[in-house]
Amino acid sequence: MVPVSSRPRSTLTARPTATEFNFDSDEDFMAYIEDLRSRSEFTSDVEVGPDDRIISLCTCAFDRVNARFMLVGKLVEVYENDK
């Protein structure tokens, strides 16, 4: 999981932002992941690679005016045991 607290920007630029979800290359995606990690309030040892899929939840935060809290996680397969 790569949780991050950030204030999403209203405009998208060439620099990755918390609200950017389409990437032109693996390098752009990995730059986005590193940007999230650099602004994270939590640390995690979960590795995210260019072929991974992530999921994001953005909600209100009340520590600042108009603030948002964004939780980002890596999607993994879940296996059921046949017992």
The domain segmentation of the chain, as residue ranges, is: 4-74
Cβ-based neighbours of 29, under 8 Å, separated by 6 or more: 23, 50
Alpha-carbon distance values, 45 to 35, 37, 76, 77 (Å)? 15, 11, 15, 18
Record the pTM.
0.65
Token duo for residue 13: 């630029």
Looking at 1-83, list the stretches that DSSP marks H as alpha helix, in order from N- to C-terminal side.
Answer: 26-39
Question: For the domain 4-74, what is the CATH superfamily, name and number?
Answer: Sortase (2.40.260.10)
Token duo for residue 32: 């986005």
Token duo for residue 71: 């939780």
pLDDT digits (tens, 9 = 90+) for 15-60: 445 566 788 999 999 999 999 899 888 888 999 999 999 998 888 8
